Amino acid sequence: MKPAYASGTWRGERFYAFFLPLVTGILVLGAWQYAVKAYNVSPVIMPAPLDILLSFKGIGAELAHHAWVTGKESLLAFFLSCVIGVVLAYLLSLSDTLFASFYPNLVVFQIIPKIALAPMFTFWLGIASTSRISYAIFISFFPVMLAMMSGLSRADVNALRLCKSIGASKWQTLFSVQTPYALPYFFTGAKVAATMSTIGIVTGELISANSGLGFYVVRAQSLGQTPKVFCALLVLCVVGLAVYAIPVQAEARARRWWRGS
Amino acid sequence: MSQFKSTRRRFLQAGAAAGAFGMIGRPAIAKTWNVKFTLAWLAQGTSLFPYVGKQKGFFAKRGIDLDISRGFGSLAAAQSIASGQFDYGIVISAPLVLMVAKGLPLKGLATVDYDAMMGVGVLADSPIRTPADLVGKKIATVPASAESPFFAAYAKLAKFDASTAQMVNVDAKVIERTLESGQTDAMTGIASSSLPVLLSSGKPARWMLYSSAGIPTYGNAIVGSTKSVESDPELSAALVDALFESLAFTIANPEEAADLFFKAVPEAGLTAGAREFVRIGMGLHRVGIAKPEAIKNGLGYGDPKVYDAITDLVMSYLGTPDMKRPAVDDWYSNKFAGNIKLAPEQWSKIDGGLGEFRKLLS
């Protein structure tokens, strides 16, 4: 049986994809607004949604500056995470020795609660952007590597046999057969990396920064300006979505290219 | 061996006897308060006295079952008290004034210490000797820390241009390490929190206090939500007395107090240098307590004029259009403070042990 949201009609799909989440969101915001006003909660403790909206007045340019700093570093961290993740995936897929040597260690490495290591990056790499970007890469490259490795190993067995029979080199097989099969997996990992890299940069900004949305949040908190904290968090959502849109768009283009359309 | 025979008469006699015993011999049930109390930060030298008092039974004898929690900064502590997560707690005076000016329903019940020890810290061998030497230097600061916004006020009073200093915003978890590792030349911070970290890890350091430049910076205050204080003044009085009996014992018997603290919070003693960390923090705390206000009026007394000056400072440097300057009488009272006093000879003894700590401050 088809789920209710897959009714197949335009109206049915729009209802479930757009109307229902919108109405739910509005109801939640309405309840939030009502509760804060009805119980006379101080905006320092919990601002109402309308108070948050009004707080945007006059801070747009400032927030845009901090968003640009966070977005720029997130993008760089995301891009480098993808490069590092893909290169490592190729290396570990090509060599059994490298795989045996590094893969178990990388898994153990990933089990470490990485948030605990965030301050260490400041000790190791200083208080400039290098430490924030390195930390973001540190938490982001693994999903890309893992997904890519998984994809490389899922190539069609018959296609691989064909490559072998026609004498294709290991590199030719890797780039012409295994890589296209791995692309959907890569994009899954890249989407995770996109969110992780933004989180990594903001975590780094909470620890050491002179600008960026993480810094803005800390400063607003220190002045008891809770509505501005929420403003920054909303902008951060937009920045996160913008970074996330990159692998989503890239995947759509790759699919179109793969289908030849 | 006698055998007990149950008869109706015996049953009634036993019932009457039990009833009479109940009326005559039943002890009065003492009033017990369960109090949720938050510190401003982690338990350390300046804030261990509630644990000491709990171990000594100072709260229990007043009918208070005190549940102490660590804090996450004075602002967060003030917010969680105002929102009812905690009944009472410890908050540094300047953030307390800020939160009151923002309209949070808070009451200051007593003053724990008379110098928040806000200031600028440097390593002992640093060429920075006076505030003027900070010109052009890289200074780490934690934006959320109480002293950070007042660096400009310090610069103004110490007559140097704050804009010439290169401020670096860092988290509280790393600030001392940035100084130790030479990534920064100086740091702003609370001396009684940061000096113990540096000194107990073998990094000699010293502090230039904002108060030396004339900035009024009372330290911790005992704070309750307006609701808690107004609904049960008897509890507020008992709690303040118990806290300051704890503080009196702690400052008069620092070694025994430290032992009791480690007994109450064993995890605080797990790290190397933990005992030294606590000893230095307690020493600096005593420097901030042994002031005329407490010696003359009893522990907990806070001068409203100083709070007035702190309010001016907060409104000047942190004021926003949504804030209203609060009158001190509306949110602070010495009504419950000053009941616990130390004898002159006790103060003399305390003062005699402070030289080691005073020389770290300028």
Task: Mark whether A25 and A137 lie in a shared domain.
Answer: no
Task: Mark whether A31 and A56 lie in a shared domain.
Answer: no
Q: Is A72 touching B (CB cutoff 8 A)?
A: no
Name the minimum distance, in Å, from the CA of A224 to any CA of chain B: 7
Task: Mark whether A52 and A25 lie in a shared domain.
Answer: no
Mean pLDDT of A51-79: 95
What pLDDT digit, counting tens, does each position of B241-267 carry?
Answer: 999 999 999 999 999 999 999 999 988
The shortest CB-CB distance from B173 to any of A119, A210, A224 is to: A119
Residue A83 CB neighbours (<10 A): 13
CB contact (8 A) between residue B149 and residue A222: yes
Q: Is B184 touching A (CB cutoff 8 A)?
A: yes
Task: Mark whether A28 and A152 lie in a shared domain.
Answer: no
Examine the pLDDT at A261 and tell me if it is beyond 80. Answer: no
Scanning A29-68 for CB atoms below 8 A from B yields 41-42, 44-45
What pLDDT digit, counting tens, does each position of B11-68 carry?
Answer: 445 545 544 444 444 444 567 899 999 999 888 899 999 999 999 999 999 999 999 9
What pLDDT digit, counting tens, does each position of A180-198 carry?
Answer: 889 999 999 999 999 999 9
ipTM over 0.90 threshold? no
Task: Mark whether A60 and A167 lie in a shared domain.
Answer: yes
What pLDDT digit, counting tens, does each position of B190-235 carry?
Answer: 999 999 999 998 999 999 999 999 998 899 999 999 999 999 999 9
Number of domains composing chain A: 2
CA–CA distance, B132 with B162 (Å, rounded to integer):
10
pLDDT at B1: 37
Least CA distance to B83: which residue of chain A?
A: A45
Q: Name the residue range of residue A20's domain.
A: 1-40
Examine the pLDDT at B90 and tell me if it is beyond 90. Answer: yes
pLDDT at A255: 84
What pLDDT digit, counting tens, does each position of A215-227 carry?
Answer: 999 989 888 899 9
The share of chain A scoring above pLDDT 90, in percent, equals 57
Domain boundaries, chain B: 33-114+218-269+300-354, 118-213
CB contact (8 A) between residue B170 and residue A207: yes
Q: Is A219 touching B (CB cutoff 8 A)?
A: yes
CB contact (8 A) between residue B181 and residue A123: yes
Domains B33-114+218-269+300-354 and B118-213 belong to one CATH topology: yes
Name the minimum distance, in Å, from the CA of A256 to any CA of chain B: 46
Angle ∠(A172,A178,A183) on CA atoms, nearest 5: 125
DSSP E strands, chain B = 33-38, 64-69, 88-92, 106-111, 118-123, 138-141, 166-169, 186-190, 205-209, 220-225
Q: Which residues of A touch B321 (CB under 8 A)?
A: none
Which class is domain B33-114+218-269+300-354?
alpha beta
Q: What are phi and psi of B135, to 5 degrees?
A: -60, 125
CB contact (8 A) between residue B98 and residue A42: no
The shortest CB-CB distance from B170 to any of A45, A208, A222 is to: A208
Non-local (6+) Cβ contacts of A242 within 8 A are A71
Task: Mark whether A137 and A202 lie in a shared domain.
Answer: yes
Name the minimum distance, in Å, from the CA of A56 to any CA of chain B: 15
Helix (H, G, I), strand (E, B) or coil at B218: coil
Across A7-21, B166-180, B259-273, the highest mean pLDDT is recorded for: B166-180
Pairing of strands B220-225, B186-190: unpaired
pLDDT at A1: 54
Task: Mark whether A189 and A212 lie in a shared domain.
Answer: yes
Task: Mark whether A170 and A245 lie in a shared domain.
Answer: yes
CB contact (8 A) between residue B75 and residue A221: yes
Task: Mark whether A2 and A20 lie in a shared domain.
Answer: yes
CB contact (8 A) between residue A127 and residue B183: yes
What is the CATH number assigned to the segment(s) B118-213? 3.40.190.10
Q: Which residues of A touch B105 (CB under 8 A)?
A: 42
Instruction: Tell me what the pLDDT averaged over chain A comes to.
Output: 90
CB contact (8 A) between residue A127 and residue B149: no
Query: Could you tell me the pLDDT band of residue A8, with boundaries at 50, 70 and 90?
Result: low
If we measure between CA atoms, which residue out of B78, B197, B89, B95 comes closest to residue B150?
A: B95
Q: Cβ distance B288 to B273 under 8 Å?
A: no
Task: Mark whether A122 and A178 lie in a shared domain.
Answer: yes
CB contact (8 A) between residue A127 and residue B170: yes
Query: Could you tell me the pLDDT band of residue A96, with boundaries at 50, 70 and 90?
Result: confident
Q: Is B98 touching A (CB cutoff 8 A)?
A: yes
Task: Mark whether A105 and A17 lie in a shared domain.
Answer: no
Provide DSSP, A180-203.
HHHHHHHHHHHHHHHHHHHHHHHH
CA–CA distance, A143 with A188 (Å, rounded to integer):
8
CB contact (8 A) between residue A206 and residue B144: no
CB contact (8 A) between residue A208 and residue B171: yes
What pLDDT digit, counting tens, does each position of B311-344 carry?
Answer: 999 999 988 888 889 999 999 999 999 999 999 9
CB pairs under 8 A between A and B: 76
Query: Could you tell me the pLDDT band of residue A3, with boundaries at 50, 70 and 90?
Result: low
Examine the pLDDT at A9 and tell me if it is beyond 50. Answer: yes
CB contact (8 A) between residue B103 and residue A44: yes
Instruction: Tell me what the pLDDT averaged over chain B comes to.
Output: 89
- For residue A98, the domain's CATH number is 1.10.3720.10
The share of chain B scoring above pLDDT 70, in percent, equals 92
Q: Is B92 touching A (CB cutoff 8 A)?
A: no
pLDDT at A260: 65
Provide DSSP, chain A.
---TT--SSHHHHHIIIIIHHHHHHHHHHHHHHHHHHHTT--TTT---HHHHHHHTTTTHHHHHHHHHHHHHHHHHHHHHHHHHHHHHHHHHHH-HHHHHHHHHHHHHHHHS-GGGGHHHHHHHH-SSHHHHHHHHHHHHHHHHHHHHHHHHTTS-HHHHHHHHHTT--HHHHIIIIIHHHHHHHHHHHHHHHHHHHHHHHHHHHHHB-SSSHHHHHHHHHHTT-HHHHHHHHHHHHHHHHHHHHHHHHHHHHHHHHHHT-
Query: Could you tell me the pLDDT band of residue A13, with boundaries at 50, 70 and 90?
Result: confident
The dihedral formed by the CA atoms of B164, B169, B175 and B180, expressed in degrees to the nearest 10: -40
Examine the pLDDT at A51 and tell me if it is beyond 50. Answer: yes
Task: Mark whether A188 and A206 lie in a shared domain.
Answer: yes
